[in-house]
Structure 1
Amino acid sequence: MAFATLVFIGLASAAIILTVQENTREKPRDTLLKAAAALGDVRTLTYSGTIGSTSQTLTGKLKVTKGGRAYGPVTWSGTSATLLAADGRVFLREPKSSLVGRMQVDTTDAALLPDGDYWGSIDPNELGLDFKGTLSPPAMAALMRRYAGLRTARSETTARGRKAIKISTSDVAFYISRTGGHELLRYESSYPKIAADVTAQPVSGGPATVADMTADMGRLGDAFDASRRAKVAAKVEFTSCGTFGRPCSVGVKVQPDPGTSGTARIRAYFRLASQRNGGGKVFGDCRADGDVPAGRTQQVQCTISGGEWAKHGSEYKTVWVYTAAFQLAIELQDVPRMERALADE
């Protein structure tokens, strides 16, 4: 074991000696086993860099919990987004333009969605990454223990601006701090393709370590299902509208995607305008949700009032209502269940 010694000279010429122990002569096997043990008290590992699979490459900063849930800002297919993966599902929060492109929504339907960022679910196979099995603290500890039993190369380097020991094979490299308790500083792998600095947050950090993930998990009730297409099953109609300019209710029958099993949440957007397909002067918008069994149709409706409709509706003899339907990703009761599962890790 090597030692670095710093000497401080006081005013009375007394010397105070501070000794810092480094892992410079430790066997790679022992270094990996100690680094794996250090992960036993870790709640999350944050990977800052590139994480990729055969189908996608993410660049950004992903936090992976000990239960395998992942969250953070990434660049996905050239678009800045926020990723949240939990309970076998993957969600992206991305700009409206990216979402409607992923869902292949036509321009007229897309116009009914307000501008902004939206959460949408994607097929986990599209990402092709097993966060729990490869990047969670327990998985990383298990990987280190496995490589501790293999022949590895050892060298001294730096990572995250700190002195580090690099222990590597042809397909993987672990960068472990030379001082400070065998901390994993960086991880590289050929498959999945990973090159990222690593920062650990201890269990003692409590709920604060996943507060950002919890907050966005609470918004997933509005996430669209990017892989399914709900449809408008009948002509949209006024369900009540006595006088133009006064509150008017509009409704339409909607149906889930043919590939749906069970019940689906469908959200319909409506627009009241002076021309067909929502064009011309826009008087107002509203939206309505419905829980619709697979293979069935169901009426959803909402009311447009106030705003431009109240100001100018009475000036028109003919108005048009346009609608578009979208399938939502999860049931509302799934959100608190996901939040509890995260809290219970």
Structure 2
Amino acid sequence: MINRRMQTFVKFRHSLLLMISLLLMYPIESLFRDGNVILLNKCNWNTYDQTNIIQEMGVKSRIHCAVLCFQYGETCLGFEVFNLVSTIGCRLFNGRSRENCASPTTITSSLYYRRTDVQDTTTQPLLTTTPNPCQNGGTYTSGSTCACLFGCSGLYCQTCINECKEATGVTGSGSAWIKPAGFDVPKHVWCQFDYGVTYIQIRKYGNVNFNRSFAEYENGFGDALGDYWLGNKYANTLSHFRAFTAGFALMNSGSSIMAYFYGFVILDSTANYAVQYTSASSASYPLDQNVPFQAYDTNSACATALGSGWWFGSTCVAGSLNGPYPVNFGSFHGATTTKIGIY
């Protein structure tokens, strides 16, 4: 407990010192009053072009989001702030995809700010004689440098973190790109940075279909900034990186639970991505071990009946975190948000 508090304090102190130094470099008046940042649009905050997002995280204020954008130098061309349940959301962009965003149809909206002190070079084509040397989704800029996705670094963005726990200089929740050994591509994931949690499943909007084929569950689907499944082949590699505990969260407007599975690991394709663990926190949320992952195209009666992929046992009674809304799993009924995180 003391070590965790110390780690949290060190992260907080680092973030505070970083913010103070950046505010000294970029005074608030110069950001908002002298025209370096202008309010461009009010947008539907849940529609966006994922390819132009550098990072998303929770912040304390609009100023905090602006400072983080300026931290990226000329890579960050604009930022968006929007309200979440208990904090303020912040998205940083390296493109101008929000300039023609849809007007909000509900009160859940965001404010998009564009930097006027930098030029957008992301849409300028590279010379045919200058190949893009950037790896892992990095963007080649006019200054012949690589602007890396958050989580990746190096002169050519050649190195990415293995899991969210390795991200530095950030607190709270947000997204990052990971690529442990064995990944063929970097994967965009949602993180809880304070506790080093990497999420392999999140459902919070209900706008992604989870009644998918075995191959789709194997490769992953959805969007880390919304609802998604990381992919069984990636979860298998990640879960073998070190010893993990998995936390299964179910929530609705009235209640929430967390079920923990210790020593959690997902086996490889030869075992059809069966799950194993050493112990569980509660028998009220059963998860069958050593059974193949099933989907509607694997001749699984449960997957067909419940419209979802999962580690189903001999009966369907336990339910599935991937089942239709509202989700039923074990003794919890009616969940509108579900999460599977490993840490």
Query: What TM-score, normalized by structure 2, do the two folds share?
Result: 0.24
**Greater relative contact order (CA < 8 Å, ≥ 6 in sequence):** 1
Larger radius of gyration: 1
Query: What TM-score, normalized by structure 1, do the two folds share?
Result: 0.24
